[in-house]
Structure 1
């Protein structure tokens, strides 16, 4: 069975999990390459305030910069990446480290510190975060190459959906900022590593599912998209 590790979001995990065709080896969510490229720093006081074991695990992985050890462990056949979770801001912590300001992290942080100084926030689509993300991508290529895993890298090229499966326009559509940032990321990937494998989708699949188990969202897609993901990653 094909073993897949994921650095990304539910977009990739929902396609892989429970299929019986692909084994989900590891899943690092709610994290940006812009965070992973910075120095590790674990805030146990924040993690202790997070109720869900899964949420605690993903926040810890972001703090530990666990992506690099996961790659060096070389336990996967494919590393599937998507960049939907780059919608989150980053936060400069008081010790100088940088963490992804996911909902889970923010919830724990508020219980420890209350509200934080807005000057510590690195906004999602800012130039500062973009420069950190590019550094993270460069390090990813280096680590994948050094460990002999560069041929296992797959980018899940999804886009924010503007409509749902009933034909309704989603709130805040057409998501020009979000999709513009994704386009910039995909273009940079192709410029720096033209041979990276991309998963691509027909527009008819890039639609939000009104019956999705996580609710309606511009990145909670109809089943046809996840089926296309599996078809593509299992192609020989």
Structure 2
């Protein structure tokens, strides 16, 4: 449809879910593609070949793991047509598996469904608290920026600056508040890295107090399954970014 904002997403449900609101009565956006279950730390590593993903039950999860294994995101940045490239880092919560040959995969819950035996590889499993994870993240980020630059898409990047919420919309705190604090400290580190390369207008900002979990969220109660107001704010931010770069 003419006038639609075409959106490519690399991230998680926090960026994807707002577009569930798009339909015949709200045709402003078109979702071009969605890359999930992959850490930015994974995309700069070599593909991990020869892994059979057929044992993953969900077709969506199967496709996401296969894309991460084969490193399909950066080629998509070059080949697809989009107006806004929306990026979030919630899936950096998963550990990173790195082999001694420089291959990598995000250790998502979907990847763990595979019958693939990791014991056949020499590898390290890194959390986002590890310096080596962060080194791989920096390389992935720079590879992403370079790819976006090659195809003239740098200004299309919009960083979805989200945080884990401490409580839900019934006022109940989520368990393991220290884990939430640690996750948000990691996200602050990520945003500090990005701010060295992108201007503030390429960050989709939210009122920090607005991050509240939704008890009746379609994916269940979680620190990053937000109330509707967050999703609505996201859509407005994507529209504003498209207007800015189109001006």
TM-score range, shorter chain: over 0.9
Map of 1:28 onto structure 2: 35
TM-score by length of 2: 0.88
1:11 aligns with 2:14: yes
Return the alpha-carbon distance in structure 1 between the equivalents of residues 6 and 22 of structure 2.
12
In the superposition, the TM-score normalised over structure 1's length comes to 0.92
* Structure 1 residues 116 and 207, CA gap change in structure 2 (3 angstroms): farther
Deviates more, 1:116-125 or 1:94-103: 116-125
Q: How does 1:171-182 map to 2 (within 5 A)?
A: 171-173=175-177, 175-182=180-187
Partner of 2:191: 186
1:37 aligned to 31, 35, 44, which one? Answer: 44
Residues 122-167 of structure 1, C-alpha deviations (whole Å, 9 max, x = no match): 2232111001001111111111111100110000000000010001
Distance of 2:44 and 2:127 partners within structure 1: 17
Match of 1:128 in 2: 132
Superposition pairs for residues 39-188 of structure 1, below 5 Å?
A: 39-45=46-52, 47-93=53-99, 96-108=102-114, 111-113=115-117, 120-173=124-177, 175-188=180-193
Kindly indicate whether the alpha-carbon contact (under 8 Å) linking 1:153 and 1:196 is maintained by their aligned counterparts in 2.
no
The answer to whether the 8 Å contact 2:99/2:121 transfers is no
Count of residue pairs the alignment pairs up = 233
Inter-partner Cα distance in structure 1 for 2:182 and 2:203: 22
The answer (yes or no) to whether the contact 1:93–1:99 under 8 Å persists in 2 is no
